Structure 1
Amino acid sequence: MKGDSVSSSPSTAQARPARAGAPAPERRKLGVLAVAFLIVAASAPLTVIAGGVTSTFSVTHVAGVPLGFLILAAALAIFAIGYAAMSRFINNAGAFYAYVAQGIGRPTGVGASLVALVAYNMMQLGIWGMFGFQVSMLIGEKTGLDIPWWVGVLVGIVIVGIMGVNRVDLSAKVLGVLVALEFLVVIVFDVVAFTNPAAGFSTEPMSPAALFVPGVGAVFAFGIAAFMGFEQAAIYGEESKDPRRTIPRATFLAVAVIGVFYALSAWALALGIGVDKITDPGGISGEEAGPPLFFGFVAENLGVIWVDIMSVLFITSIFAALVSFHNAVARYFFSLAREGVLPAKLAAVRQTTGAPWVGSLAQSVIAVVVVIAFAIGEAGWNPESGPYPVITLFTWLTNTGALGLVLLMAVVSLAVVGFFRKDARGVGVGSRLVAPIVSAVALAAILLLILSNFDVLLGQPESNATTFLLPAIAILPGVIGIVWAYVIKRRRPEVYARIGHGADAGDAQLGDA
């Protein structure tokens, strides 16, 4: 990056007169726990344990899944060192976009912004598929009514949209309650599983020998998706009470909680259900893999009432993730529009709440369009042609979104090095150089593992067109964004100068970045 400068004083930013997109005082509502709840909610703890972890065991046939979570947590914590150091000097709702723009250059920043928009949208849209499927199943089981999956989704989109245009601390409070209940019921499951192991207590799931076997790549690929959302802390920098302290603390707290909690819970699953059974449910007992294994254990050891409670919380867990990703998308629209990369109307905020309401509305409209498209496609669906359309919506889009976010984190690691290259700003060499380089290498390796195991992630027996098309959808927007940045530079140099500087755009200088 050449010729860029940015004001790093939070007090300066807060002292400026309120304007569209400025971090006005009334927007600064969030503390460390509130931000941590928002980002932990995106990982959907109960959904990951009941659905994601059980499926990972059965698809990969690898017993060392719990240890895989600890290794991933360590890798992401190393990433968070440089990420948090940079967050002290950049306070922007665009997060990844702003970091890359100021650390590598404006064109790469715009490319990163489009990858982020696509990735977060695909994560949120894919999760809507699982939400609709679970709501439809629960209503059918309890009432006998056959409600199409998309009905619940459309109702949910309206509710999430209403929350998205209100104060962000309202979302944090709602998510806080839901996440607390999720943790509570999973902890109950963990205690019961550890005290009632199917084949006696065993440390095998935490053994390196149980992890580093054929299939370890798929374990990491599945596992990284469970952490998606932890990187969202910086998105709320402009709405945090003290972003220089709140964002780093919330990021490290989220990584630690997610990593340790998932590792212990995955270990509990393996012990409670049995290592042999959970890694090969069809081969050992002929039972269905995935959530039925979890809920079957709950029914047997805790009773049907707990199954009902956890089924409802399974849905609210998905809902919490939807709210979190919706907020992330709305803030990316807001940040890009504020700087002229996207139409200016998307930067509008509600005067009463400070929420980016047009960006929120845009995300809701996108969700409605995609859901309707899949609902229409369902009419001509042949059961023999592949998975149920709503499940396809979930598996295709969430895995593609996770791929895009891993790519972004690898690029952000390099951006940290670039940002501190000419001016260390008092940051130690470990935080500004060593940790970012290590995380860039680790994340690049994880990205390659995801690409090489993408057919497994999609549940396909072998590679086909979608194996290559979906990753392209996540990666190509980056190329398009770089080209678009150069078009902006030529046609609107004053807009180009603001790229990546958010509310401090007036301090940016046009260089040759």
Structure 2
Amino acid sequence: MPPTTATLQRPSNVSDALARGRLGVPSVIFFVLSAAAPLTVVAGVVTTGYAVTGVTGIPLAFLVVAAVLALFSVGYVAMARRVENAGAFYAYVSHGLGRPAGVGAAWAALVAYNALQVGLYGAIGAASAPVFGTLFGVEPHWALVALAAWAVVAALGLLRVDVNGLVLAVLLIAEILVIVVFDLGQLGNPAGGAVSLDALTPANLLVPGLGAALVLATTGFVGFESAVVFSEESKDPKRTVPLATYLSIAIIAGVYALSSWTMTVATGPENIAQQAGEQSVGLIFNLAGTHLGGTVVTIGQALFMTSVLAAMISFHNTTARYAFALGRERVLPAAFGRTSPRTGSPRVASLAQSLLGLVVILLYALNGWDPVLQLFYWAGTGGGFGVLLLIAATSIAVIAFFTRHASTENLWRRLVAPGLAAVALVAIIVVAVDNFAILLGVAPDSPLRWGVPAVYPVTALLGVLWGLVLRRARPDVYARIGLGAASTAATLKTATAEPAPAGTGASR
């Protein structure tokens, strides 16, 4: 039914817009790369990959995954030029596959990003232990460190987004510098006296563990897609988002491929799996201690801790903006769509995300649950898998959007690149589901083996059903889904009418 006069006179649900024009290309890149957490991935994901899969071609796996994500980004940024919305995946799926599917994607995204965010609170204690032990001779309980980090992240989440960008810039630059120093130390001390290129050959990737290696490599890139989340706060979104996205993929791929290769150089390709299994996260620091001395190791361990903190800050901002986008369009309660009049930050969404983090920390601490395995590793793996599902769905949504709407985009951008990306991403998802017990480190008959991946289709289905409920019961709200800051215009249209301009309205 069409909206009534009272509906048309109701004040907009957009209580405040996000602060405009505060982020340039460098600031967005800092947010994206901080979410990717380079040192955390190099020290944790890479060593775990070698130990679990035994595949020495992991450096090449990072380059293959980077190529797939670059293909995905062709259509992703093409759509970003037409749809400017902090909801990103939610908005794009709404425009491409319909509003109910968009709500399903939004709910799945909230689960995935919240899992990634709160999972990091389990890692900060382990990352800080060697630092406190070396500098102060004590190792505080992980929950105390997590609560201190939580307070910092919660406070920064209420400040201007560019202030967060400056903090991330300092942390990230130091983090990448120490990775480069570690890499140079490993290259300068090759096992057997000769630099080996074996890890970069296809023969060492095309082995039975290929699928698991690609899944692990994919988790290292989680966060690259968040450039679009900050489009509303960018100085020039049509320029900032594409540049930040492509540069982030290139930088992440370069750092990961170089670091994972230099590890094999320092240990010898034939020894990397065994040493990674024995030393785990400590491998890169032990290599640095041998080649560069204890002081450099201490600096690296400190930056490992700040790497986790930087990822917390970035994921907190990303997650808060997803909740803001949904609150602004009343898919979530309208309070989530309110911003601070002083800083322009998504105040209520940020506070809600902080509350969730506090509850999780206290819950794990009071029950004595393992913060590394049962929080960081399980939540991180599950969150990364959720993002992978969302990327694949968005590739399909891009194709559907450009198929329906007249476009000046060429065939490569609107069909070929996103189509190839969708095929590759679905293949990786199939392999991920088949190997989920290995990824979680649980028995094949563990309930988590199917329970964790099943969270996302169940959540998405509930979101789709809620979207259908809104279409029937709240047509004024339904009409705004996916429109972002332009959602107020939807109050002037009938609830079942499609927004006319291509690229400005969500599909039915």
Normalising TM by the smaller chain, what interval? over 0.9
**Which of 90, 104, 125 is residue 132 of structure 1 equivalent to?**
125
In the alignment, is residue 245 of structure 1 matched against residue 239 of structure 2?
yes
Number of matched pairs:
483
Match of 1:444 in 2: 426
**8 A Cα contact 1:374 1:390, kept in partner:** no
- Give the Cα separation in 1 of the matches to 2:187 and 2:434: 35
**Which of 310, 316, 321 is residue 331 of structure 1 equivalent to?**
321
Counterparts of 1:114-125 in structure 2 under 5 Å?
114-125=107-118
**8 A Cα contact 2:130 2:301, kept in partner:** no
Question: Match for 1:133: what amino acid?
Answer: A
SS of equivalent residue, structure 1 residue 368: helix
- Give the Cα separation in 2 of the matches to 1:330 and 1:102: 22
Match of 1:12 in 2: none
State the shift of 1:314 in Å. 0.2
- Give the Cα separation in 2 of the matches to 1:488 and 1:194: 59
Question: Match for 1:205: what amino acid?
Answer: A
**8 A Cα contact 1:21 1:503, kept in partner:** no
State the shift of 1:461 in Å. 4.6
- Give the Cα separation in 1 of the matches to 2:206 and 2:360: 39
**8 A Cα contact 2:17 2:339, kept in partner:** no
- Give the Cα separation in 2 of the matches to 1:38 and 1:142: 29
Match of 1:213 in 2: 207
**Which of 19, 22, 29 is residue 17 of structure 2 equivalent to?**
22
After superposition, the C-alpha distances for 1:321-366 in whole angstroms (9 at most, x for unaligned) are: 1111000110011000000100111111111110001111100111
**Which of 220, 228, 248 is residue 226 of structure 1 equivalent to?**
220
Match of 2:254 in 1: 260
Match of 1:473 in 2: 455
Bigger shift: residues 137-146 or 50-59: 137-146
Match of 1:101 in 2: 94
Match of 2:402 in 1: 420
SS of equivalent residue, structure 1 residue 30: coil
Question: Match for 2:290: what amino acid?
Answer: E
**8 A Cα contact 1:31 1:241, kept in partner:** yes
Alpha-carbon spacing, 1:37–1:389, altered in 2? closer, same or farther (3 Å): closer
**Which of 270, 283, 289 is residue 264 of structure 2 equivalent to?**
270
Question: Identity of paired residues, percent?
Answer: 43
After superposition, the C-alpha distances for 1:355-390 in whole angstroms (9 at most, x for unaligned) are: 001111100111111111111221xx6xxxxxx343
Counterparts of 1:142-153 in structure 2 under 5 Å?
142-153=135-146
Question: Match for 1:107: what amino acid?
Answer: P
**8 A Cα contact 1:337 1:346, kept in partner:** yes
Root mean square deviation, CA, Å: 1.7
In the alignment, is residue 501 of structure 1 matched against residue 483 of structure 2?
yes
Question: Match for 2:394: what amino acid?
Answer: V
- Give the Cα separation in 1 of the matches to 2:385 and 2:270: 30
State the shift of 1:297 in Å. 0.6
State the shift of 1:428 in Å. 0.7
**8 A Cα contact 2:13 2:337, kept in partner:** no
**8 A Cα contact 2:14 2:337, kept in partner:** no
Runs of 4+ in 1 over 4 A off after TM superposition: none
In the alignment, is residue 435 of structure 1 matched against residue 428 of structure 2?
no
**8 A Cα contact 2:13 2:328, kept in partner:** no
- Give the Cα separation in 1 of the matches to 2:456 and 2:144: 28
- Give the Cα separation in 2 of the matches to 1:278 and 1:223: 17
- Give the Cα separation in 2 of the matches to 1:452 and 1:19: 43
In the alignment, is residue 397 of structure 1 matched against residue 379 of structure 2?
yes
**8 A Cα contact 1:130 1:391, kept in partner:** no
Match of 1:192 in 2: 185
After superposition, the C-alpha distances for 1:140-177 in whole angstroms (9 at most, x for unaligned) are: 44433342111111111111011111111111111111
**8 A Cα contact 2:186 2:288, kept in partner:** no
SS of equivalent residue, structure 1 residue 275: coil
Match of 1:162 in 2: 155
State the shift of 1:66 in Å. 0.1
Match of 1:370 in 2: 360
- Give the Cα separation in 1 of the matches to 2:126 and 2:311: 15
After superposition, the C-alpha distances for 1:249-288 in whole angstroms (9 at most, x for unaligned) are: 1001101111122111110111112222221228xxxx72
Match of 1:6 in 2: none
Match of 1:291 in 2: 281
State the shift of 1:502 in Å. 0.9
Question: Match for 1:99: what amino acid?
Answer: Y
In the alignment, is residue 46 of structure 1 matched against residue 49 of structure 2?
no
After superposition, the C-alpha distances for 1:464-495 in whole angstroms (9 at most, x for unaligned) are: 11111111223311011000001111110000
- Give the Cα separation in 2 of the matches to 1:112 and 1:356: 20
**8 A Cα contact 2:13 2:330, kept in partner:** no
- Give the Cα separation in 1 of the matches to 2:82 and 2:450: 38
- Give the Cα separation in 1 of the matches to 2:138 and 2:172: 29
State the shift of 1:18 in Å. 12
Match of 2:337 in 1: 347
**Which of 349, 361, 383 is residue 359 of structure 1 equivalent to?**
349
**8 A Cα contact 1:396 1:458, kept in partner:** yes
Question: Match for 2:472: what amino acid?
Answer: R
Question: Match for 2:496: what amino acid?
Answer: G
State the shift of 1:463 in Å. 3.8
Match of 2:7 in 1: none
State the shift of 1:137 in Å. 4.3
SS of equivalent residue, structure 1 residue 355: coil
Match of 1:14 in 2: none
**Which of 209, 224, 235 is residue 229 of structure 2 equivalent to?**
235
- Give the Cα separation in 1 of the matches to 2:13 and 2:388: 35
Question: TM-score normalised to the size of structure 2?
Answer: 0.92
**8 A Cα contact 2:190 2:267, kept in partner:** yes
